[in-house]
Structure 1
Amino acid sequence: MRYTSLRHPCRYVTLRFRVENNSPCFSGARTSLRYTSLRHPCRYVTLRFRVENNSPCFSGAMTSLRNTSLRHPCRYVTLRFRVENNSPCFSGAMTSLRNTSLRHPCRYVTLRFRVENNSPCFSGAMTSLRNTSLRHPCRYVTLRFRVENNSPCFSGAIIFAMIEEHVYVERIVL
């Protein structure tokens, strides 16, 4: 996958990134991720990072991200964080995101968070994403998907997704 762009109609959110060696992954899940840039039009947020050799880590932290805890004991991934001062965050996080818990028990991941009126949001997918349902009813977003081959990665390429409401996906190249 190359040069993916995600846009949201409410004061557009544009996400562009490049993946090396045909690895359709994003958000620090793979060693092939290099020089990712995330920009948000409301007080721009730019995230650039580099993943070091064989680090299956989640690089979703933003300049405004605080109190981040990441655990990856080969079976479960738990991500808990709190966002300060209405700062746009990354990987499903929003300006109104509070006390988010992400778990990955090798089969299903459920991410629930609250969206304040017309907040621009981004909710990614996975390298082995299947049967994804993303709903954005202006109050809650629920993301459920199944991960194949015990892939401990989150927020990657959208291989198969049912996207409803206010999320537009543009130019997915496999």
Structure 2
Amino acid sequence: MKILLSTVALLFSFITAFGQAQSPAADLVSWSAKHRLSVSDFGVKLKKGKVGKAGFQLATETRTNLYTHQKRVIVRNNMVRSASSINPGQHVQEQLRFQQTLFDIMEIYARQLRQATQTPTAATSTARKPGPEEQIVAAAAKRRQHYGVDTQYGTLAAKQAKWEKTIKQELAALQSFAVPE
């Protein structure tokens, strides 16, 4: 009986651990040229009078080949559902357009980071030198802020259209650094 209870408890702990390991990925929405943000992508729905915001994540992961000792950087551009909110009762299309444009700006910088880190490097034991990541993330934050101020957070239609055109051109120029869909 004790063995059965121990086995059941062990099985339950594996199931719980597996479920927890799977949930972080479900909390992320990866950038995609085919999928535009929708209300269902936002984890928090706000009440009247509240303004939403999206939480974006430009994540890098370094993988080292055990045989060649070369390092390769993987760059991901995601929106975090649980850190993103939208007010479904107030100017939904404008909110989605604004957040999508911010997401698109982040994709430009994700592609620039992929470009800057595309060549595998030899793994060394010396202290890490500041890489392009810090500069690119800072530039992305500055650009997103400039976009928000310039378009009054997506409310000026002419300026919004101009930004969208520029972003589309920049994404096209960096197409070879897009993640295959």
TM range (shorter): under 0.3
> Which is higher, the Rg of structure 1 or of structure 2?
2
Normalised by the length of structure 1, the TM-score is: 0.27
Normalised by the length of structure 2, the TM-score is: 0.26
